[in-house]
Copies of this chain bind each other. A is one copy, B any other.
Amino acid sequence: MVKVTQKTRYAIRALLRLKTFGEGGTVLKEISKEEDIPVKFLEQIFASLAKADILESKRGAQGGYRLKKSLKEVSLYEVMKSLREDVKFAHCLDIAKPECPLKSKCKAEKFWRNIQEKIMKILMETKLEEIDESLS
């Protein structure tokens, strides 16, 4: 299953915005306000992104977030995966065994896997940097 949720969209926009703050970074509240994303929701999102080493956090007063990687290096796939969004089509590939009575199921699952690989390739090749370029 490949899905692009609101969460993913928020994440992308937040990262893009964070980029404009450069090395200094900023505080979550700021981005929440500027991008009009619910604070508490964004907290969860940033927690995930931080865990995935896409951004860096510092707690406490004078704390905040800043990008840890250049957006050139961060793929869409990486973001989606860190948010634990499923990036798979095939459902039960383990059923696809020779003995499986539903032959068309076996075939179909393998078929899904092929598609999945193609789409994952796109998601992996797409770096966030492209976003900034996509308006020019």
Residues of chain A touching chain B, judged by Cβ–Cβ distance below 8 Å, are: 1-6, 9, 12-13, 16-17, 34-36, 76, 89, 91, 102, 104-108, 110-112, 114-115, 118-119, 122-123, 126, 130-132, 134-135
Question: Which 9 residue pairs across A and B have the least CB separation, nearest first?
Answer: A16-B104, A111-B131, A13-B104, A111-B134, A3-B3, A4-B89, A107-B135, A110-B134, A13-B108
Q: State in angstroms the CA–CA spacing of A16 and B122 once bound together.
A: 28
- Decide if B126 touches A115 in the complex (CB within 8 Å): yes
The answer to whether A9 touches B112, judged by C-beta atoms less than 8 angstroms apart, is yes
Do B17 and A104 touch (CB < 8 A)?
A: yes
Chain B residues in 8 Å Cβ range of A135: 106-107, 110
